[in-house]
Amino acid sequence: MNILNQYFNTAYNTAPFSKLKNDDFLPAFKTAIEKAKSEIDAIVQNAEVPTFQNTIEALDYSGEELDRISSIFFNLNSAETNDEIQKIAQEVSPLLSEFSNDITLNKDLFKRVKAVYDSKSGLGLSTEQTTLLDKKYKGFARNGANLPEDKKEQLRAIDKELSQLKLKFGEHILAETNAFEMLLTKEEDVSGLPEGAKEAAKQMAESKGKNGWLITLDYPSYIPFMTYADNRKLRERLSKAFGSKGFKGDELDNQDIVLRIANLRAQRAQLLGYKTHADFVLEERMAETPEKVNNFLGELLEKAKPAAQKEFENLEAFAKDLDGINQLQKWDSAYYSEKLKQKLFSLDDEQLKPYFKLENVINGAFTVAEKLFGLRFEDIDTIDKYHEDVMTYKVVDAENELVSIFYADFFPRAGKRNGAWMTSFKPQMIKDGQNHRPHVSIVCNFTKPTKSKPSLLTFNEVTTLFHEFGHALHGMLANTTYPSLSGTSVFWDFVELPSQILENWCYEEETLKLFATHYKTGDVIPMELIEKIKASATFHEGMQTLRQLSFGMLDMAWHFDYAQRKHSREVSVKEFEKKAFGSTSLYPDVAENCMSTAFAHIFQGGYSSGYYSYKWAEVLDADAFEYFKDQGIFNKTVANKFKAYVLSQGGTENPMTLYKKFRGQEPKPEALLRRAGLIK
């Protein structure tokens, strides 16, 4: 496979980052695509009668090298990109779309898959094999295999354009994020900012050869400023810069891209016989239909809205009493919420941060994984990293057997997109009698250490780390035969269960005592602070719920309502969005801002028609954690069941079936509403 393959003789077959050059990727992709094509040809040209093994299984194991290169390259494009990598991504994406379509639109291959599918009742397949067969057949049917030739060509063209548009969308957001800088030179302009945030801003300015404090749109800079900065005008400026990404009518504008993506997705769904993109997507989700999703969001809205409105009125009254603010704006939200939270609970992030040194929180997550699932994390320095900030670990079980290689990348930098995510560099599978263990990575954007302080996390960052680590455990503990069913390859509204359930441990005294120690004194976090964390956990829960629901509703508007109303491309992105937000709006609209043009989850990532799944998974995680609470949060029996039926099974069985095997019942939404304090 040319130069990339020469270096794969590495420890644990890890990615050879230090030896990779950007010039290696395009030839490597082309070679791997040709190899994958020849593997497909071998399946098609097999003279034997189609069987599960020679067709379905062979298909799932094909393209292994291509998948490996893709995972390395596209992870770099998210976490350590540059102009050259972005250019290669633009060249490679259409090639991959074309190759994917070459498979799904290959008539002879589909004929073999269909032959196996039509005879499945007599094949004596296991549950996992049956799931794989269904998935492979649907993979063809849902991607145009039953279409006439002219429609297949249309589909190819749509997929090619979509892959390029999604990349362009993300590139624009990254460029906008990197381009904005707010340099402050007066002490009063940083009034209210915690010392750590001021020091980080000063260091950022120094790194660019400037004097003063430099504020950017990266979360570790943006969030503290919006939460603590006393200067309302500067908060407004920063908020508008953040909210107008992709919405300035310039060369980085995403409005046409949003409309084009929504239109192409609608066309694609209709070409395949579905009413809308949402109908197409949700056929392969626990929620099943757009109507079910809208009902689900509507029910939660009904419960959350009265609480949210009351919280908003209280916040507005508080801001008026404190500073004479008559009309709360979006740039006031975090600032006055934090002030009110401090007043009600005498608790702020600055009190908590000394107890959440990054290294201690990482060890806390590792300890939780050891107590629940018997895992041990050992530092390993014999494997390559793509950046010096990345931490690397070897994960072993109680028998000292390798479970996974784990990468963790925690700090923001210019070539890294905002947010937090889990990903994989190598999947788990069982092939030729060998259990190939996965290489899993989590990527976050936390505050970097400064000259005087280590990286100290806000409590929100602590839960983010546990969240991504929950995804990582789902990947690490995978134990399935087939790569396409392994780890996080599950229905999208099930994938957030392992991540969201792990956040619950952050609120438990038993867990916090394991790792929340003061970075200077070593003292364990005081009991009164733990009580305050728990008491404040449902603070503004109504408003937070409304915010999440608004994102889910906007997603459904673009992928369900938009297609049905047969809008032309000339529709105003802003007006359409305002209408979608109608039932969830609390703050006045900001004319210069638009969320859709920077809504990477649905226009760049994989969450289109799926953003509701965060709330859906919250229902699952609240119900599942009640089971742990009833039996003890480190109860081995419950943990073993969770590992056996959820974490290790990947997508081998219907998720509701797996959930009921673990829990003994279907999830009840009341558990979430109880935890949120929205019902007693």
CB distance 354 to 348 below 8 Å: no
Looking at residue 475, its amino acid is: G
Q: How far is the CA of 75 from the CAs of 21, 421, 475, 477, in angstroms?
A: 15, 10, 16, 21
Rounded Cα–Cα distance for residues 257 and 567 (Å):
15
Active site residue 468: yes
Instruction: Determine the Cα–Cα distance for residues 442 and 55; give it in Å rounded to an integer.
Output: 34
- Give the largest CA-CA distance in the chain: 82
* C-beta of residue 533 within 8 angstroms of C-beta of residue 347: yes
Cα 553–319–461 angle (5° rounding)?
55
DSSP notation for 298-366 = HHHHHHHHHHHHHHHHHHHHHHHHHH--SS--GGGHHHHHHHHHHHHHS--HHHHGGG-BHHHHHHHHH
Cβ-based burial of 326 (10 A; exposed 0-12, middle 13-18, buried ≥19) = exposed
Sign of CA dihedral 594, 597, 600, 606: positive
What is the radius of gyration, based on Cα positions, of the chain?
25
DSSP 617-655: HHHHHHHHHHHHHHH-TT-HHHHHHHIIIIITTTTSS-H
CA 331 – CA 242 distance, rounded (Å): 11
Residue 152 CA to residue 158 CA, distance in Å, equals 10
CB distance 348 to 338 below 8 Å? yes
The burial class, CB within 10 Å (0-12 / 13-18 / 19+), for 186 is exposed
What are the distances in angstroms from CA 626 to CA 38, 43, 505, 620, 674?
51, 48, 12, 10, 10
- Dist. CA 390–CA 409, nearest whole Å: 5
Are 407 and 377 spatial neighbours (Cβ–Cβ below 8 Å)? no
Cα dihedral 447→448→450→454 (10° resolution): 90
Q: Which of 468, 496, 541, 618 is catalytic?
A: 468
Strand 439-443 and strand 402-409: pairing?
A: parallel
Cα dihedral value 468, 469, 472, 476, nearest 10: 180
> Could you give the C-alpha distances from 74 to 63, 96, 240, in angstroms and in order?
16, 12, 30
The partner residues of 407 in beta bridges, in order of sequence, read 392, 441
Percent helix, strand and coil across the chain, each to the nearest 5:
60, 5, 30
C-beta separation of 427 from 448 below 8 A: no
Q: Which residue has the tokens 């039926």?
A: 645
Say if residues 597 and 258 touch (Cβ distance below 8 Å).
yes
Measure the CA–CA gap between 576 and 596, rounded to whole angstroms: 10
Q: Cβ–Cβ contacts within 10 Å for residue 280, how many?
A: 24
| 3-class secondary structure, 456 | strand
Report how many helices (DSSP H) and strands (DSSP E) the chain contains, helices first.
29, 9
Q: Catalytic residue numbers?
A: 468
